[in-house]
């Protein structure tokens, strides 16, 4: 009978980002963005439940029984870490296991824009890393924390649910707090952080008004705040933060966001066109005075046009990033057009170099 140890080893050996367990199909791996079946037998409900149960503590089993879902992380000796999300579907258990490498990659390893080396050196403000699920946001944040850890003597505090990448103390000290284990909520951790002398605060995800408000307050008081947000572009990231709040609070949030924002990086991972693996396409927004004024004046819909001509500041739109990957023959023509939200603009970029 297949074991979780065997399946997790296969996930890391085949460089899969995820392992999916669900009744009616074999264990499935996500490799270079595509779901691929393993050679194991189709899973039955009791087999799936046994596999999942084999890596849970009694407390975790009880939590799963109460809530019908569970998200945790744990380490594998000499291999890395795993984030496990268990849930019920059609009355049976299912799970996604995401592999987290033991070693943190650099921005260069990840193929990210050189401007990120400048972004992580700002002393204060808010830096957002955005993109859809599976686009590498957590990996980029881990690289940012690692860069600061290796180059600056500061106190880094992370607030995550669950802990993913584990950081050792290097030039900096790094304290990592896990929601539900070390603190009750992200907002509570951020409120308390101001009494813990941090220089840098990393937040796993901005997902509710309380967390956003506390993050803006921490950034406003002179700290660097790094956070992820599941939005597909910079304009939607700005809009979604503001619209989390009722109308009477939005003016204040606009002012705080306009004053504290230091950068928005939006990622997509595309399959390489002529070799295995994936490559990152990154949109970058640097809030110049013009961008800050647009946010204050409720004209964030005009930010995109500023990005199109903001190359001297390190800005680029997603279409410009997609075009650059295509121009370097790293991805295919069909792939970039499957990822763009503005095909006409992308076509114009291609025609402009013909």
Would you give per-residue pLDDT tens digits along the chain (354 residues)? 799 999 999 999 999 999 999 999 999 999 999 999 999 999 999 999 999 999 999 999 999 999 999 999 999 887 889 999 999 999 999 999 999 988 899 999 999 999 999 999 999 999 999 999 889 999 999 999 999 999 999 999 999 999 999 999 999 999 999 999 999 999 999 999 999 999 999 999 998 999 999 999 999 999 999 999 999 999 999 999 999 999 999 999 999 999 999 999 999 999 999 888 999 999 999 999 999 999 999 999 999 999 999 999 999 999 999 999 999 999 999 999 999 999 999 999 998 875
What's residue 77's pLDDT? Answer: 80
pTM of the model: 0.91
Structure tokens at 117: 């080396």
Cα-based angle 149, 203, 196 (whole degrees, multiple of 5): 70
What's residue 133's pLDDT? Answer: 87
Which residues are bridge partners to 266 per DSSP? 130, 283
Q: Rounded distance, CA 316 to CA 228, Å? A: 19
Distances (CA, A) of 41 to 1, 12, 21, 28, 97: 9, 20, 12, 11, 18
Which helix (H) or strand (E) segment holds residue 235: the answer is: helix 234-243
What's residue 276's pLDDT? Answer: 87
Largest CA distance in the chain: 63
CB–CB of 278/34 below 8 Å? no
How far is Cα of residue 85 from the mean position of the Cα atoms in its chain?
16
Structure tokens at 30: 């996500």
What's residue 216's pLDDT? Answer: 98
Domains in the chain, ordered, with CATH?
4-101 (3.30.450.90), 107-351 (3.40.50.300)
What's residue 102's pLDDT? Answer: 83
């Amino acid at each position: 009978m297949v074991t979780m140890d065997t399946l997790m080893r296969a996930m890391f050996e085949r460089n899969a980002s995820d392992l999916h367990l669900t009744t009616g199909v074999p264990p499935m791996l996500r490799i270079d963005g595509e779901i691929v079946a393993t050679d194991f037998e189709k899973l039955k409900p009791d087999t799936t439940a046994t596999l999942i149960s084999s890596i849970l503590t009694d407390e975790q089993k009880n939590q799963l029984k109460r809530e019908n879902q569970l998200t945790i992380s744990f380490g594998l000796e000499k291999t890395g870490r795993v984030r496990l999300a268990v849930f019920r579907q059609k009355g049976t258990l299912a799970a996604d296991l995401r592999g987290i490498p033991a070693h943190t990659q650099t921005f260069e390893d990840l193929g990210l824009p050189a401007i990120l080396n400048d972004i992580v050196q700002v002393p204060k403000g808010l830096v957002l890393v955005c993109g859809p699920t599976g686009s590498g946001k957590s990996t980029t944040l881990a690289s940012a924390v690692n860069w600061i850890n290796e180059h600056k003597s500061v106190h880094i505090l992370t607030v995550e649910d669950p802990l993913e990448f584990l950081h050792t103390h290097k030039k900096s000290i790094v304290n990592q707090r896990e929601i539900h284990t070390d603190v009750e909520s992200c907002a509570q951790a951020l409120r308390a952080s101001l009494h813990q002398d941090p220089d840098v605060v990393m937040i796993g995800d901005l997902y509710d008004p309380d967390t956003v408000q506390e993050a803006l307050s921490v950034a406003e008081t002179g700290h660097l705040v790094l956070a992820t947000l599941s939005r597909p572009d910079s304009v939607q990231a700005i809009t979604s933060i503001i619209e989390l709040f009722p109308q009477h609070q939005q003016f204040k949030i606009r002012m705080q966001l306009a004053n504290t924002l230091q950068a928005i990086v939006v990622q997509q991972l595309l399959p390489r066109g002529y070799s295995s693996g994936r490559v990152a396409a990154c949109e970058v927004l640097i809030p110049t005075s013009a961008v800050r004024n647009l946010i204050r004046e409720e004209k964030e819909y005009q930010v995109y046009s500023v990005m199109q001509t903001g190359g001297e500041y390190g800005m680029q739109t997603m279409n410009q990033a997609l075009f650059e990957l295509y121009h370097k023959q790293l991805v295919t023509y069909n792939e970039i057009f499957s990822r763009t939200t503005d095909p006409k603009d992308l076509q114009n970029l291609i025609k402009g170099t013909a």
